[in-house]
Amino acid sequence: MELNIDGNAALVTASTSGMGLASAEALAREGANVAICGRTPERLTQAREQLADVGEGDVLAAEADVTAPDDVAALVEATVEEFGGLDHLVMSAGDPASGRFLDTTNEEWIGAMETLVMSVVYTAREAHAPLEESDAGTMVAITATSAQEILDAAALSNSMRRAVSGLLETLAREFAPEIRVNEIQPGPTETESLAGVIEDAVERGDYPDYETGLADWATDAPLGRVADPQEIGDVAAFLSSPRASYVTGASLPVDGGTIRS
């Protein structure tokens, strides 16, 4: 199915690995010009080269910290200048520290707020004007299933993801009809982050090997496995495309059926 976003301009945040990079790949594969960002020059270079091999569109790689408002403003400005506008925004961010409420620190709460919530505030605010000028403006944020169903020992994620979900529902109403705003709620996905968690568990002796740990993370999924990041990226590209032209304000679990409610 053609997504009809060939030649469109897309910006994907936190996009040097994981679901952010997978989203950038999916957009690039459909012919979009894609801007990516990250804080590590070496990883940015690797991601840019990877994207260049995927699609025929242009790739802009910019060093930026999405928790810094000035960086976000410069990132959006550079994207618009490079591609002549902005049609699609995909916002991604890493997971906060795990733990029960009393095990978390005030500093971790502030950091999680900046990384997960304020990054969306900064980016959505800066991207609003160019997206509104587009005839195909879309915003997609990648959160987690904790935005809908409470997870054990995940006080930060449970709280911050729900805050983002509420913000996105608000923006979907306030930015309509010019901009569609949607949310993807991934379940366990085999990213570098999850791999690191499993490897640490193997070292502690919680699992005999990586494969056992990965299978354990898939226990609650009726499909019997965790997601591949590209499966999340493909949904981000679809929601960004005219094929989803009547979808806004949606919170879409991509979790293999894990959520029961």
Instruction: Give the pLDDT of residue 230.
Output: 98
Summarised one tens digit per residue, pLDDT across range 90-114 is: 999 988 999 999 999 999 999 999 9
Instruction: Give the pLDDT of residue 94.
Output: 86
Task: Retrieve residue 117's tokens.
Answer: 């919530």
pTM of the shown model: 0.97
Secondary structure (H, E, C), 1-61: CCCCCCCCEEEECCCCCHHHHHHHHHHHHCCCEEEEEECCHHHHHHHHHHHHCCCCCCEEE
Is-contact 87 7, C-beta < 8 A? no
Instruction: Give the pLDDT of residue 162.
Output: 98
Task: Retrieve residue 14's tokens.
Answer: 């936190």
Q: 228 vs 116, 138, 259, CA distance in Å?
A: 22, 24, 18
Summarised one tens digit per residue, pLDDT across range 204-233 is: 999 999 999 999 999 999 999 999 999 999
Mind giving me the DSSP string for 76-104? HHHHHHHHSS--EEEE-------B-GGGS
Is-contact 23 15, C-beta < 8 A? yes
Nearest Cα residue to 91 out of 132, 123, 48, 129: 123
Is-contact 228 234, C-beta < 8 A? no
Instruction: Give the pLDDT of residue 106.
Output: 98
Distance CA 45, CA 36 (A): 10
> Where do the domains of the chain lie, and which CATH numbers do they carry?
9-187+228-248 (3.40.50.720), 189-226 (no CATH)
Nearest Cα residue to 123 out of 249, 234, 37: 37
Provide CB contacts within 8 A for 167, sequence distance 6+: 117, 120, 121, 124
Low-confidence ranges of the chain (pLDDT < 50): none
Helix (H) or strand (E) holding 158: helix 155-174
Please tell me whether residue 126 adopts helix, strand or coil conformation. helix
Distance CA 178, CA 129 (A): 10
